[in-house]
Amino acid sequence: MTPRHHLDSATVVAFAAGTLSPALAAVAASHLEVCAQCRQQVRKGERLGGLLLEQQQPGHASHARRESLRQDILAQLDEAPVAPPASPFRNAIDGPREADPDRLPVSLHAYFGETYSALRWRWMGPGMHMIRAQGLQQGQLILLKIAAGKSMPIHSHGGSELTQILKGAYTDALGRFAVGDVADLDSEVEHQPVTVPGVACICVSALDAPLRFPGWLARKLQPLIGL
């Protein structure tokens, strides 16, 4: 699997700096498990962050020392990384896991368990099921299962939405999103995903703020489904 839709650079930098909310970090890490391109970006972000911190240390670094650090930053951007373990999601950037179709991404095990077959889905509406991760202090992390060929309510977001496709696929105005892809959306984007025919779509979404549905029916449903 080679994802075609990736984390945006702001998300990569925030992940590398450890400043993403736990929900967003879990989805970002789940994508990193299958995406060599974004793993490389995170490593660059970590190296840059470390060098920039060093450059900002108070003290009396000479001009020559600062210039040498600047050269280091430029020179190391394309080098192979040697990064120390730094976060609970660290293993996500060590490389892909073996592909067992019943196994959830490792980064999601703490929230949803290890296997799809053990998930306990909650009915949310015709053709839609969900599971909400418990115990998050900030934001929301949900698994969604949407029947094949179904259209989601059109919605936008009060904050960031980061969604990764785990099974199946959907299309929206931004393109087709298949297994491994992430939709990294900010609050400006209003979209209406439609799942492709033939196979249910399972995705994991992290939300910084509640979804906003514009339709009156969707607004009535919103408090019921808790989004």
Q: Which residues bind Zn ion (CB under 5 A)?
A: 3, 6, 35, 37-38
Residue 40 CB, nearest approach to Zn ion (Å)? 9
Closest CB to Zn ion among 35 and 93?
35
Residue 152 CB, nearest approach to Zn ion (Å)? 23
Task: List the one residue out of 158, 65, 59, 167 whose CA is nearest residue 108.
Answer: 167
Closest CB to Zn ion among 38 and 202?
38
Closest CB to Zn ion among 92 and 211?
92
Residue 195 CB, nearest approach to Zn ion (Å)? 21
Closest CB to Zn ion among 1 and 110?
1
Residue 30 CB, nearest approach to Zn ion (Å)? 11
Instruction: Give bridge partners of residue 156 from the DSSP assignment.
Output: 212
Rounded to whole angstroms, the Cα distance separating 105 from 127 reads 24
Rounded to whole angstroms, the Cα distance separating 209 from 160 reads 7
Closest CB to Zn ion among 35 and 143?
35
Q: Which residues, other chains included, contact 48 with Cβ-Cβ below 8 Å and sequence gap of 6+?
A: 16, 73, 77
Q: Are 179 and 111 in contact (CB under 8 A)?
A: no
Strand (E) or helix (H) holding 129: strand 128-132
Rounded to whole angstroms, the Cα distance separating 106 from 100 reads 11
Rounded to whole angstroms, the Cα distance separating 27 from 188 reads 20
Residue 121 CB, nearest approach to Zn ion (Å)? 27
Residue 43 CB, nearest approach to Zn ion (Å)? 13
Closest CB to Zn ion among 2 and 62?
2
Residue 49 sits at φ, ψ, to 5 deg, of -60, -45
Task: List the one residue out of 111, 214, 218 whose CA is nearest residue 164.
Answer: 111
